[in-house]
Amino acid sequence: MKRIILMRHGEADHHQEGLTGGWTQSHLTVLGEKQAFVTGERLAKLLDGVEYSLYSSDLARAAETARLVCQQLDTSPVMDSDLREFNNGQAANMTWEQAKEIQRPPTRPLVDWVPYPGAENWRMMNERIADCLARADEECSDTAVIITHTLSASAVVHWWLGLGAEWWGKISYEFDPCSLTFLTINDFGQRTISRLNDTRHLVEAGLESEVEALPGVAS
C-alpha cells in the first residue's frame, strides 16, 4: 500500500442532536448526504487512472457515506467492523453531559483507561484498526480509500506513521465531516501526512458542516 486517502463520514444525526457517537447506528443528515456525494466527485477525479480499494466502517453513517461515494467510483466498498469508531459503551447515544456523569476517573497510562462502563480503551481501538490496515496492506498494491470516524481516523494516522502505544494517548487529530486526509510516502521513503482535514471541496460547494470538534472528556 503506497497511499491512504482517509475520509471521515458525513454529518450525522447525532451531531445535530448533541449526542455522543460510538457504536451507534446514527444516519447521515441531508447535509451529510450532500457532503458524501460531493466528496465522491472529488475522489473520482483524484483516483482517475489509479489502482485503489475502498474500505469503510460498517456503522450506518459511514456505510451510507461509502455507498454515496461509490456512486461516482467504479468500485464497491469493503465493509469492515474493525474500522468502527471508539466503542464508548454505555455512553453511546447519551448527551455529553450525561456521558460525563458516568465517566470513570482517568487512569494512567491513558491508553489503557476505560472511560465508560462497557467501553474499550485507546489501546484496544488502535490494535483493531491496525489489524484492519494490515489486511488492507496485503490486499492493496497502490491506494486505499478508508472511510471511518474521528477517533478511529486518528488510529489510522498513528498506524501509518508507525507511532507506538506510548503515543496513542498523547496525540490526536481533528477531522471534519467528509474531510480528506492524505497519507503518503515521500521521495526519501518517509511516511508523511501530506494533507490533513482538507475540506476545500466542501467549501467550494457551500457544504461545510457547523459540527464542532469532539468536546472530549473531563481530565
- The string of pLDDT tens digits covering residues 157-196 is 999 999 999 999 889 999 999 999 999 999 999 999 999 9
Torsion of CA 94, 216, 164, 183, to 10 degrees: 90
Is residue 211 one of the residues assigned to a domain?
A: no
Q: What is the pLDDT of residue 214?
A: 60
What's the predicted TM-score (pTM) here?
0.95
For residue 216, pLDDT over 80 is answered with no
CA distance 184 to 55: 17
- The string of pLDDT tens digits covering residues 69-128 is 999 998 999 999 999 999 999 999 999 999 999 999 999 999 999 999 999 999 999 999
For residue 217, pLDDT over 70 is answered with no
Enumerate the H helices of the chain as residue ranges.
13-17, 30-46, 60-70, 96-102, 122-139, 150-161, 165-168, 200-205
> In the predicted model, what is the mean pLDDT of the chain?
94
Point out the least confidently predicted range of 60-64, 77-81, 197-201, 210-214. Answer: 210-214
- Of 191, 129, 125, residue with least CA distance to 160: 191
Is residue 217 one of the residues assigned to a domain?
A: no
For residue 200, pLDDT over 60 is answered with yes
CA angle, 119 as apex, 29 and 161 as ends, to 5°?
A: 80
- The string of pLDDT tens digits covering residues 28-64 is 999 999 999 999 999 999 999 999 999 999 999 999 9
Q: Which three cell numbers stand for residue 2?
A: 503506497
Buried b (16+ CB within 10 A) or exposed e, 101-119: eebeeeeeeebebbbbeeb
Is residue 63 one of the residues assigned to a domain?
A: yes
CA distance 47 to 36: 16
Domain count, the chain: 1
For residue 212, pLDDT over 80 is answered with no
Q: What is the pLDDT of residue 62?
A: 98
Q: What is the pLDDT of residue 218?
A: 41
For residue 219, pLDDT over 50 is answered with no
Using CA atoms, how far residue 80 sits from 12, 83, 104, 209, in Å, is 19, 6, 29, 26
CATH number of the domain enclosing 103: 3.40.50.1240
> Domain range for residue 31?
3-205
Is residue 219 one of the residues assigned to a domain?
A: no
Angle between helix 30-46 and 60-70 (nearest 10) = 50
For residue 215, pLDDT over 80 is answered with no
Is residue 59 one of the residues assigned to a domain?
A: yes
With a CB cutoff of 8 Å and minimum separation 6, the contacts of 21 are 12, 14, 61, 85, 88, 92, 149, 150
Is residue 120 one of the residues assigned to a domain?
A: yes
Q: What is the pLDDT of residue 177?
A: 97
Using CA atoms, how far residue 11 sits from 21, 142, 150, 183, 201, in Å, is 12, 29, 12, 23, 15
Is residue 35 one of the residues assigned to a domain?
A: yes
Is residue 212 one of the residues assigned to a domain?
A: no
